Amino acid sequence: MSEQINNPEDQPADRLRQKIRSLDHEAPQMSWDQEALWEEIQKQQTGKSRIWIRVAASVSILIAAALLFYTQIPKTADLSYSVESTMVVSQAEQDLSWMEADALEFIEHNCLEALIVCNKPEFKALRADLESLQSDIDQINEMIEKYGEDPVIIKSRTQIEDLKNEITNKLVQMVLS
């Protein structure tokens, strides 16, 4: 006791030591049932994994539902996409329209001078054909503006232009004869 008084700093430590010693005798033996403990752990683990399975399933269902909804949107339901290769065609066409305009001016100019040939039925019929063909070309150009420069339409226009050139040439020959 005198030591305790002499060394006040040691008092709490000694008290604690004594208390522990007394507890050593009073404390029950630490023991557990290992099998029961493992069962408990397994139960808890199984419960957790069940929850995760439920969460995963819910997410999957949500994703599937979202995909189904997305593919059922009317605007995209009947659309399909593909790719096709095409030939590059040079657009640098020579503009020969001035030659045709020259030829037509030549015909007009000569017919103003009251050439007999200009009053012949065949000549008149050819000129009417020429006007009709020009109307066809105008219509085809409208189609090209609407549907694009598709080979089918370009082919039709070429066909008419060839015919128009042929008729223009015939008219020039008739005027010259």
* Residue 147 binding other proteins, by CB under 8 A: yes
b/e for 115-136, b at 16 or more Cβ within 10 A?
Answer: eeebeeeebeebbebbeebeeb
The label of the residue with tokens 């049932």 reads 33
Q: What is the signed CA dihedral for 38, 40, 41, 46, rounded to 10 degrees?
A: 120
Q: Is 150 in the site for other proteins (CB under 8 A)?
A: yes
Using CB under 8 A, pick the residue from 32, 94, 114, 146 that binds other proteins.
146
Per-residue string for binding with other proteins, 80-119, x by CB under 8 A? xxxxxxxxx-------------------------------
Residue 156 contacts other proteins per CB under 8 A: yes
How many residues bind other proteins (CB under 8 A)? The answer is 27
CB of 55 to other proteins, least distance (A): 38
Rg of the chain over all Cα atoms, to the nearest angstrom: 52
28 versus 121: smaller Cβ distance to other proteins:
121
What residues between 25 and 84 interact with other proteins by CB under 8 A?
A: 78-84
**Residue pair 167/133 in contact by the 8 Å Cβ criterion:** yes
The C-alpha torsion from 121 through 122 and 127 to 131, rounded to 10°, is 90
Q: In terms of CB distance, is 65 or 89 closer to other proteins?
A: 89
Site for other proteins, rule CB under 8 A: 78-88, 136, 140, 143-150, 152-153, 156, 159-160, 163
